[in-house]
Chains A and B, each alone.
Chain A
Amino acid sequence: MSSPAAPGRVVIVGASLAGLRAAETLRREGFRGELTLIGDEPHEPYDRPPLSKQVLAGRASPAHTALVRAPDLEATWLLGEPAAALDPHTRTVTLAGGREIGYDRLLIATGTRARPWPAAEEAALDGVFTLRGRDDAERLRAALAAGPRRVLVIGGGFTGSEIASVCRELGLPVTLAERGPAPLSGALGAAAGSVAARMQRAHGVDLRANTTVMALEGDGSGRLRAAYLSDGDVVEVDVAVVALGAVRNTEWLAGSGLAADARGVVCDAACRAFDADAVVTDDVYVAGDVARWPHPHYDGLLLAVEHWDNAVRQAETAAANLLREPPAPLRPHRGLPAFWSYQFGVNIKSVGLPTIADEVVVTQGAVADGRFVAAYGRQGRTVAAVAVDSPRWLPAYAGFVAANLPFPPDLHASDAPDPLRPVPAGLALDDRATHSPTAAVTGDGPTASDRSTHRDPRSPLTAPPL
């Protein structure tokens, strides 16, 4: 299939952060053709990070999170209806209502959605929530504002922990159940997770680590009443928030012949989608939370990164490559994963990939002071760093990770603990955490089959209570 030197029609499926940033980049790079954005949400693109932070806390309205966008985008917005199918041979996207949209180049940016509670009848109880979009935030905020007796957060990843933090800020009793040994342990390891655990307890969270929620129970009128925990306890709650990580929105690509499954859509480092025969396409591109790609910094392992920064930069790279006319070189998407969070009054930032580390060491500041940087190492090389209330130190560590410097890094910092005490990072825990880490290696090449069986989040670590 030969591609026209300059595409006349570009279609972007997924009208959120990655889709909008790609559209803006296309125009900035001189694309003058037809530009169409297809999004299933009725809202124009908005920002998600505030939803689990200031929006939930009531300091900002869910309606006031719209993303800044270029005034001269001149795009057709098809909002409120999902794309239901893709035919890459006829270059057609079909909407759920049957309308067909043709393209010369396509960008897939359909992101992820919240992983639902596995028991559908329990998930449907009044008082059970997930949080991914603006409307979810609106509903959950109303439920918290109504002053529930107790909130249960299921899953101690970043989103779950941020929600628990907001509950405490609002003065609400909250129980957080996490299957792993500590909150954030899936993303940052059990060692760093223990710091998060202390922080949560100090703020009055009833933290249940190594514990799963086995069942949710409603009253006669279908309202959530109680939760059964694997530690044998029954907690009376009016609100439960399921925060078990995300599911990739790839179902609409079934039958398209692309390398797309529950783990995401595989693309190369230039963001070009692979088909199921591991042949790279030249007219379909992928960016954001839905993408998996071989990161040049990580031995080509396929990475999936659910971070704001990655969505922006991958979208910019995809858009630039989508417009390129050979023999202009393709741009690789090779920035390091980077993330920020805000919870329990502290700012947490990370760079690199903590999930592949075997050791971690505090390199600056002190855990007891609530301000520190921890570096992560794998086989003697620095692979990541996490900064707690010390964002200005982090850029230096990004340099160490990019340069593969030895671990522990030799900083000569005046505030470095002496001696440095590396400890096991606690990440090789066989997928024990309830929440999926938001940046992770997701297996080998594009045709490797999907062997990832997602564990039922209800299954306890040891034996269930009698």
Chain B
Amino acid sequence: MRVLVDLNRCLSYGQCVFAAPSVFRFHGAESLEYDYAPGRALAEEVRHAAAACPVQAITYAEEPSGE
């Protein structure tokens, strides 16, 4: 799947890191880094992370199936 965080909107609250630690992590004290292309098995975690983000900075989607 695909993940994208609007890092302008992100205020580094870290809820996503708790919800999906294998996708989101902090690099330094306040800078969020994440995996743009996590495996499907992580979809549930990513969904939780997106729902937990207090500023709704996280979007995700399935891989496009070719247009």
Contact = CB atoms under 8 A, between A and B. Distances in A.
Contacts of A340: 7-8
B61 A70 contact: yes
Nearest to A77: B67
B27 A67 contact: no
A390 B27 CA distance: 14
Interface string A329-354: 00000000011101001110100000
Given A60-B36, A71-B62, A309 B28 contact: no
A411 to B, nearest CB: 18
Contacts of A389: 28-30
B67 A74 contact: yes
Contacts of B37: 64, 66
B34 to A, nearest CB: 9
Given A64-B36, A68-B59, A339 B8 contact: yes
B2 interface: yes
A391 B59 CA distance: 20
A192 to B, nearest CB: 17
Interface-centre pick from A68, A71, A307, A338 (highest chain B CB count, 10 A): A68
Contacts of A67: 2, 4
Interface string A302-339: 00000111001000000000000000000000000011
A69 interface: yes
Nearest to B38: A64
A75 interface: yes
A49 interface: yes
B8 A309 contact: yes
Contacts of A68: 2-4, 59-61
A342 B27 contact: yes
A123 to B, nearest CB: 31
A342 B60 contact: no
Contacts of B27: 54, 59, 342, 345
B10 A59 contact: no
Interface in A383-433: 389-392, 394-395
B67 A49 contact: no
Summarize B's interface: helix, strand, loop or mixed. loop
A64 B30 contact: no
Given A64-B37, A68-B60, A342 B67 contact: no
Contacts of A312: 6
Contact of A47 (B4, B8, B10, B64): B4
B54 to A, nearest CB: 10
Given A68-B4, A75-B67, A392 B11 contact: yes
A59 B36 CA distance: 11
A340 B12 CA distance: 12
A365 interface: no
Contacts of A342: 27-28, 31
Interface in B16-48: 27-31, 33, 35-37
Given A340-B8, A347-B12, A69 B31 contact: no
B4 to A, nearest CB: 4
Contacts of B30: 346-347, 389-391
Nearest to A351: B8
A74 B66 CA distance: 10
B12 A59 contact: no
Contact of B61 (A44, A71, A75, A395): A71
Given A312-B6, A346-B29, A389-B28, 20 more contacts: A60-B35, A60-B36, A64-B35, A65-B36, A66-B37, A71-B61, A71-B64, A73-B67, A307-B8, A308-B8, A309-B8, A340-B7, A345-B27, A345-B29, A347-B12, A347-B29, A347-B31, A389-B30, A390-B30, A391-B12
Interface of B: 2-4, 6-8, 10-13, 27-31, 33, 35-37, 59-62, 64-65, 67
Q: Which 6 A-B pairs have the closest CB atoms?
A: A347-B30, A68-B4, A345-B28, A64-B37, A309-B8, A347-B31
